[in-house]
Amino acid sequence: MPRPHRSPILDGYGRPVRRSYGGGYLGATPGGYRRSPVMGAFTDTRREYTSFTRAELCRKARWFKKNVGMIRGVAKSLVDHAIGPGIFPLPATSNEPWNAAAWKWFWETAKIGDASGKMTLWETQRVRTTAKFWDGEMFTLHHRSASGWPQYQLIRAHNCGNYDVPEDEGWIDGVRVGEALRPRAYRFRLAGEDRYATIPAARVVHSYLLEESDQVRGITPLAHAVNNLHDILDSLALEKDAVKDLARTARVITTESGEDENDDDPASHFFRRRSTGDDDDDEEDATLPLEAVMGAEIHRLRKGEQMQSFTPTRPSPTFTGFIDYLGKDITTGTGFPYEFAWDPNSLKGPAVRFILEKVRLAVDEWRRNEIEDTYPFYTWAISLAMEMGALPYNPEWYFVEWIGGAPDVTIDKGRDAAQDRENIKAALTTFKRYYASQGLWWKTELEQKAREAGFIDEMSKKYGISPDRIHMLLVNAAAQPSGPARPDAPDDDEDEDRDEDTRR
């Protein structure tokens, strides 16, 4: 039997170096004593992301939501830029009268669709996006009211789980799956004790950002940041205690010996004592000098003593840099650069554009995800409207275009607004898209503008003045500064008299 191969190279302990088992890849080779072990299993997501793991991550993320302003700001910016006032569906069939009727009907439905009556559909989009950021997911249950009106109900992540269900029926953390892990039903906890319900998947919209192809439950974007957020809070708490402790010291008195030469009376530098013949240790005999009470203190030092002002050095730049590093790791993992979420002071011109482009890409991803979550309610509501007779049947009823109400991320709102107006003049942007981004139906707005223009024409004929003077659209009129007339400026009567003299 051949002897096993022994390497002629020895390690620091004089032992033969072991053969590499990584096939040439250092990342696959055990690191020995130099590195901490990399935890985790090479298996399916449901075995890694168990119900306990999900509950712990959600619990900690909600706690950070209550206590860490930096990450709350990231969530607020995400919702403001991705959702804004709402993401509005615009019917896009070939029947324009039907489109206008569907728009009006769904807009009214969106106001009262929430079963709790607390929010409109557009506010629901903001709440749902916020929940996906903190909890990783949100459930939306579709049902009909007592009068048959389409409604929805939001269900938070902690109310879905394996409550009183057999484990051998395909239940994975509150979701019953079939072949290819396709959801078939959801198990929800109802209000009250020991009350649960199984809801078919066709009535539930499970909102989350997909990270793995075999993922069943949503994962919070803060999963990578839990430990760093905890470290920041711990470090800041200790550093703040140190800063407050140092802030109590204003000046320091040093001696040649390095010891307090009057240990029995450490307050003798600031107090005088009356000689009353009684016990000198009585606190009632201690008096403050007048200059210590009235300001302009005069400190009396003994021979060999020196007084120096104490300047605290905490927090140091090294500490703030350490916090910045942790903050960058936290915010970058959510898709939002640290400079956008917390500290933009170090950005210059080209860097600003680069950061804003990364933010725009992250915002677009969240906006597309919310459109996918809102689309089922739109199609379901429109189908019920046709069923109830509120809308005539249209074979293209599910054709819809989505317009985001939130403007693009920018640092110059005025310039962008001017560019929008120029795009409309140059026919690069349609009135339909422009007004839809503001939650308005374009034909209604253009008809209103036509009414106003017709009314202005009638007023101009009635009073014999130019229409431009009524709506102040002339460039010269708009350029004239408003304010009181100059004292030396002639009035209109003087101008008319001067013109009459000239004609004579």
For residue 498, what pLDDT is reported? 47
Beta strand ranges found along 230-328 (DSSP E) = 251-254, 272-273, 286-287, 306-309
Structure confidence at residue 476 as a pLDDT band (50, 70, 90): very low
What integer is the mean pLDDT of 315-319?
86
Whether 439 has a pLDDT exceeding 50, the answer reads yes
Measure the CA–CA gap between 395 and 377, rounded to whole angstroms. 18
Average model confidence (pLDDT) across the chain: 81
As given in the structure block, the two tokens for residue 386 are 């046709």
Q: What are the backbone dihedrals phi and psi of residue 29, each rounded to the nearest 5 degrees, phi first? A: -90, 130
For residue 421, what pLDDT is reported? 72
For every residue of 204-255, DSSP letters joined together read EEEE----STT--S---TTGGGHHHHHHHHHHHHHHHHHHHHHHT--EEEE-
3-state SS class at 441: coil
Measure the CA–CA gap between 25 and 316, rounded to whole angstroms. 40
pLDDT digits (tens, 9 = 90+) for 193-234: 789 999 999 999 999 999 999 999 999 999 999 999 999 999
For residue 346, what pLDDT is reported? 75
Q: In the chain, what percentage of residues exceed pLDDT 70?
A: 76
Q: With CA atoms as reference, report the closest residue to 79 among 18, 132, 35.
A: 132
For residue 504, what pLDDT is reported? 46
Structure confidence at residue 15 as a pLDDT band (50, 70, 90): confident
Measure the CA–CA gap between 161 and 175, rounded to whole angstroms. 7
Measure the CA–CA gap between 67 and 65, rounded to whole angstroms. 6
Alpha helices in 39-95 (DSSP H): 45-48, 51-67, 69-82
pTM above 0.85, yes or no: no
Torsion angle, alpha carbons of 440, 444, 449, 451, to 10: -150
Measure the CA–CA gap between 250 and 264, rounded to whole angstroms. 22
Dihedral sign for Cα atoms in the order 169, 175, 179, 181: negative
Residue 200: asked if its preceding bond is cis (omega within 30°), the reply is no
pLDDT digits (tens, 9 = 90+) for 452-468: 788 888 888 887 777 77
Q: With CA atoms as reference, report the closest residue to 477 among 467, 487, 486.
A: 467
Structure confidence at residue 7 as a pLDDT band (50, 70, 90): low
Highest mean pLDDT among 136-140, 238-242, 302-306: 136-140
What is the maximum span of the chain, computed from C-alpha positions, in angstroms? 135
pLDDT digits (tens, 9 = 90+) for 171-187: 999 999 998 899 999 99
pLDDT digits (tens, 9 = 90+) for 362-421: 999 999 999 999 999 999 999 999 999 999 999 999 999 998 888 777 766 666 667 767
Q: With CA atoms as reference, report the closest residue to 207 among 384, 366, 72, 49.
A: 366
pLDDT digits (tens, 9 = 90+) for 72-131: 999 999 999 999 999 999 899 999 899 999 999 999 999 999 999 999 999 999 999 999
For residue 17, what pLDDT is reported? 64
For residue 477, what pLDDT is reported? 42
For residue 308, what pLDDT is reported? 73
For residue 283, what pLDDT is reported? 54
Q: With CA atoms as reference, report the closest residue to 362 among 335, 338, 333, 344.
A: 335
Whether 489 has a pLDDT exceeding 60, the answer reads no
- Angle at the Cα of 137 from the Cα atoms of 405 and 61, rounded to 5 degrees: 105
pLDDT digits (tens, 9 = 90+) for 265-307: 555 555 555 555 555 555 555 555 555 555 556 666 777 777 7
For residue 488, what pLDDT is reported? 45
